[in-house]
Amino acid sequence: MSVSLNPAAYTRIVPAVVFDIKRPHLLVERSLMVTRRSWVAMVSGFFEPLFYLLSIRIGLSALVGDIEVGGQLIAYDAFVAPGLMAASAMNGAVFDSTMNVFFKLKITKLYDSVLSTPLTAGDVALGEIMFAVLRGALYSTAFMVTMWVMGMVESPWFLLSVPACVLIGFAFASIGMALTTFMRSFEDFEYVPAATLPLFLFSATFYPVSQYGEWGWVVQLSPLYHGVELIRAANLGEWRVELLAHIAVLVVITVVGSAIAARRIERLLLT
């Protein structure tokens, strides 16, 4: 895949695209209309992270014992749960913004007809990202409640895990959508799990970053890692200045990703 990103070109364009976003909520409204009929599939999406959590709680926790995080000892399942929460926010956002968007962009040509109304490419990009994030937020809330019921929530600050998941969703939906505009066929999507699986496995999801030893800095490159850290910190109710850096990374990814996506959609459809 040849991805030619010329940062100068995009930063020059960003304002024009961003200022032209006025009605993204109308595309969200369309997605809600569609979801009204496919709500079963939507609800079932919540079960995957739940099964992971249950499997670890039932089987692995006893084998691993407690884990030390920030000076506190916590059960292994309570350690992994925030990682799973972040990973499912990522997976949902990536799926919604890649396959689903590609289908509408290239196969059903949905966006062609949307762009002949007063909506703009920016509305389309942000609207689709917003829906992916909205759905992710529902799953996150359900997951948070599940953790609370299972007694894994250590602090009331854990309520902040939902906005953290929203941020993760925004970041990954933006990257996903930007990359999707460069995809040529469905075969290109085989590379998507090749990117998300390593992120899922190596973002301090299943064990503390200290375990990577001198390779710990590599983990920092994973956008998911920054999300995992935010949610884990929320669960422990601990405030550190580094959290601002984690937030900043995700915000930057979101802004750059969605600007590229909007610009590319415009270029693909308005020729």
Partner 1 sequence: MGAVMRSGMQRRLTSWAPVRVYLRDWTFFRRMWWSVMLGSIIQPLLFLLGVGLGIGELVDNGPAAANVLGDTSYFAFYATALFATSAMFVLSQEAMWGTLDGFQWSSAHVAMISTPLTPTDVAIGKALHYAMRALFTGVGVALVLALFDDTRRVGLLLAPFGSVLTGLAFGLPIAAWTGSRTTDASFPAILRFGVIPMFLFGGAFYPITQLPGWLQPVAWITPLWHGVELCRAMVLGGTSPAQMAMHLGVLLAFCSLGLFAMTKTFAARLRA
Partner 2 sequence: MGSQQSPVVGSSLVKRFGDFTAVDGIDIEVAPGEAFGFLGPNGAGKTSTMRMIGCVSPPTAGTLRIFGLDPVADGRKIRARMGVVPQLDQLDNDLTVLENLMIYGRYFDLSRKAAAARANELLEFVQLTEKADSKVDPLSGGQKRRVSIARSLINEPDLLLLDEPTTGLDPQARHVLWDRLYQLKERGATQVITTHFMDEAEQLCDRLVVMDAGKIVAEGSPQGLISKHVRREVLEVRFGYGLNESMVPKVDGVGDRIEILPDRLLLYSDDGDAALSELHRREIIPESALVRRSSLEDVFLKLTGRTLVE
Cα gap 238→78, rounded to integer Å: 15
Cα gap 78→151, rounded to integer Å: 9
- Among the listed residues 103, 128, 136, 122, the one whose alpha carbon sits nearest the alpha carbon of residue 31: 128
- Encoded one letter per residue, x for contact with partner 2 by CB under 8 A and - for no contact, window 81-120 reads ---------------------------xxx-xxxxxxxxx
Q: In terms of CB distance, is 110 or 192 closer to partner 2?
A: 110
Q: What region, left, alpha or beta, does residue 270 occupy, with left being phi > 0 and alpha being psi -120 to 50 degrees?
A: beta
Q: What, of partner 2, partner 1, none, does residue 213 touch, CB below 5 to 8 Å by kind? A: none
Q: Per CB under 8 A, which of residues 161..220 are in contact with partner 1?
A: 190, 194, 197-198, 200-202, 206-207, 211
Q: What, of partner 1, partner 2, none, does residue 109 touch, CB below 5 to 8 Å by kind? A: partner 2
Taking only Cα atoms into account, the Rg of the chain, rounded to an integer number of angstroms, comes to 19
* Chain center to CA of 234: 17
Interacting stretch for partner 1, rule CB under 8 A, among 7-15, 25-33, 38-46, 248-256? Answer: 38-46
- Among the listed residues 124, 126, 128, 130, the one whose alpha carbon sits nearest the alpha carbon of residue 269: 124
Query: Binding to partner 1 by residue 60, rule CB under 8 A?
Result: yes
Handedness of CA 9, 11, 17, 19 (dihedral sign): negative
Q: In terms of CB distance, is 64 or 269 closer to partner 1?
A: 64
- Among the listed residues 24, 81, 31, the one whose alpha carbon sits nearest the alpha carbon of residue 232: 81
Q: What, of partner 2, partner 1, none, does residue 143 touch, CB below 5 to 8 Å by kind? A: none
Query: Binding to partner 1 by residue 59, rule CB under 8 A?
Result: yes
Query: Binding to partner 1 by residue 58, rule CB under 8 A?
Result: yes
Encode 53-80: b = buried (16+ Cβ within 10 Å), e = exposed: beebbeeebeebeebebeeeebbbbbbb
Q: Which two tokens stand for residue 26?
A: 């109308």
Q: In terms of CB distance, is 13 or 138 closer to partner 1?
A: 138
Q: Per CB under 8 A, which of residues 62..81 are in contact with partner 1?
A: 62-65, 67, 76
Query: Which of 52, 103, 157, 189 contacts partner 1 by CB under 8 A?
Result: 52
Q: What region, left, alpha or beta, does residue 207 occupy, with left being phi > 0 and alpha being psi -120 to 50 degrees?
A: beta
Q: In terms of CB distance, is 34 or 40 closer to partner 2?
A: 34
Query: Binding to partner 2 by residue 15, rule CB under 8 A?
Result: no
Q: In terms of CB distance, is 55 or 117 closer to partner 2?
A: 117
Q: In terms of CB distance, is 123 or 229 closer to partner 2?
A: 123
Contacts with partner 2, residue ranges (CB under 8 A): 20, 22-23, 26, 29-30, 33-34, 108-110, 112-120, 269-271
